[in-house]
Chain A
Amino acid sequence: MKRLFLVLLVLLIVALSVGKSVAADTLEEVKKKGVLVAGVKDSSPPFGFIDEKTREIVGYDIDFVKAIAKKLGVKLELKPVTSASRMPQLIEGNIDIIAATMTKTPERAKQIDFSYTYFLTGQKFITKKGTIKTLKDLDGKKIGTAKGSTSEQNAKKVLPNATILSFDDYPQAFLALQQGKVQAVTTDESILAGILAKAPNKSKFEIPNIQISDEPYGLGMRKGDTNFVNFVNKTLLGMEKSGEAKKIFDKWFGPNSQTPLKRNFKIKAE
């Protein structure tokens, strides 16, 4: 009993001492520091992944935060995050902006502010060739995805009888598919295309044309950080106008890229 009491006492002290203030105006703060810290993915090609030659993180998301840092006239620091860690990292002030394949959802928008949509995709499945024709084929099966993603929640909604296995990141989920531990991996088509492009035996897998949701990506910033949000939105609109945004898209998703997709969206004020 004494032990229990002591433990509770320590807990209480910790609970009381938690609480840290985060600067409200990131724009000013970043200019003062001279560095913009962006939370990015490092294993989601072609949005954020480690280049085999340079050992640096590159990708579609990275090019966008690069452009924002350039516009601000500050250095860019990339910090790898996962789907589950990115929002807490932002809210706690460890990063200034999230550029990590993040879908804009109403629930998330209660916690953080989003920029205009800078990428639009939809959620699909990757499966072993010829095993899945319709959504029905997947019900009651095991399906892999990554923790803390919207993919997990969407899949649960449309496939209530399926077992969703959430891994730490997509490469592990895909390994589970290769070994037959799951019958499909589900997430945004653009990420699946990236996984497929890097797969060692591409011809054995396919992405059937089953779309279960729209996934508009936004850059994430702290709630109520209006100056910074406005600045980022203005920069995004400028990039669309100057053609830079399209150039970045073509670099990663153009017809000659490893993951060719159609650009069926434009960055616009919402």
Chain B
Amino acid sequence: MLKYQFDWSVVTSGKYFYWLVSGVKVTLQLSFISIILSFLLGLLIAIMRMSNFKPIRWFSIGYLEFFRNTPLLVQIFFWYFGSYKILPEGINSWLNEHNFEFASAVIALTIYTSAFIAEDIRSGILSIPKEQMEAARSSGFSYLGSMRYIILPQAIRLTVPPLIGQFLNLAKNSSLAMTIGVAELTYQARQVESYTFKGFEAFTAATIVYLFLSLLITWLVSEYDKRFLKIIKG
């Protein structure tokens, strides 16, 4: 029987603690930037998906099916390594001098999640009786105006529970960014493990942080829901 000696000091103080903290910071940045961007992009795609203009609708269907049905890891590699083949040399070297690892991770997470969010928002929009749209249009609202003032406020509210799910997935999926060297939380936990061999402690700490991050996101979204969206419903 091998005995495992727990040593929590490696993750609660000193240099390794700061590594983990810097990882938490990167994970937070990655998650919140991608959450906001993927929500906006998802909203746009959902509206495009319901457009009466066929090319726009077809484009958005293609977008949805492509990005929902390919693995996120492959998409991350695509943006990081694959974009090299498409972009001109000058842009490549500019990107490489800047934090292209972080940017590719944000792009991949945003696009991947936006496809799921778009479908959730669309189902929310579809659940609003179409007579409301007709009534709005006949009262003089434009198509976008009726969306903006009549349909979306109700639809978004209905979409809140599935949206929370997508945001949580995004926050946890952000750990895949470590495969291209983004020093987020899981990356740092692994780093601590390879320096100290205290993997159990490092990953327990990381797990707890992810847990609290998820609970925080759930709380933030439901607070927003309570404060701002309830009024509309009444």
> Footprint of B on A, CB under 8 Å?
3-4, 7, 19, 21-22, 24, 83-84, 87-88, 91, 107-108, 110-111, 142, 144, 147-149, 152-153, 165-168, 172, 175-176, 179-181, 222-224
Contacts and interface: CB of A to CB of B under 8 A. Distances in A.
Nearest to B84: A179
A260 to B, nearest CB: 30
Contacts of B199: 88
B2 A179 contact: no
A113 B170 CA distance: 41
A141 B38 CA distance: 32
B92 to A, nearest CB: 7
A67 to B, nearest CB: 27
A7 B208 CA distance: 10
Given A3-B215, A111-B197, A153-B195, A180 B93 contact: yes
Contacts of A3: 215
A167 B93 contact: no
Contact of B181 (A4, A84, A111, A167): A167
Contacts of B92: 179-180
Contact of A108 (B101, B181, B197): B197
B187 to A, nearest CB: 7
Contact of A165 (B93, B181, B190, B194): B181
B193 interface: yes
Contacts of A222: 2
Nearest to B214: A7
Contacts of B180: 167
Contact of B187 (A7, A166, A180, A224): A166
A110 B190 CA distance: 18
State which size class the interface on B falls in.
Answer: 20 to 34
A181 B195 CA distance: 25
Q: 4 shortest A-B CB distances, which residue pairs?
A: A165-B181, A148-B194, A179-B84, A21-B1
Interface of B: 1-2, 4, 80-81, 84, 92-93, 96, 100-101, 179-181, 187, 190-191, 193-197, 199, 211, 215
Contacts of B179: 167-168, 172
28 contacts: A4-B215, A19-B4, A21-B2, A83-B194, A84-B190, A88-B199, A91-B2, A107-B196, A108-B197, A110-B197, A111-B197, A144-B181, A147-B187, A147-B190, A147-B194, A148-B190, A148-B194, A166-B187, A166-B191, A167-B179, A167-B180, A172-B179, A175-B81, A176-B81, A176-B181, A179-B92, A180-B92, A181-B100
Given A179-B92, A223-B2, 6 more contacts: A7-B211, A7-B215, A84-B190, A107-B195, A107-B196, A147-B194
A78 to B, nearest CB: 23
Contacts of B191: 147, 166
Contacts of B96: 142, 179-181
A65 to B, nearest CB: 22
Contacts of B197: 87, 107-108, 110-111
A215 to B, nearest CB: 16
A154 to B, nearest CB: 12
A153 B193 CA distance: 12
Contact of A84 (B2, B80, B194, B211): B194
B81 A24 contact: no
Nearest to A3: B215
Contacts of A224: 2
B218 to A, nearest CB: 8
A24 B1 contact: yes
A127 to B, nearest CB: 15
B1 to A, nearest CB: 5
Given A7-B211, A21-B1, A179 B181 contact: no
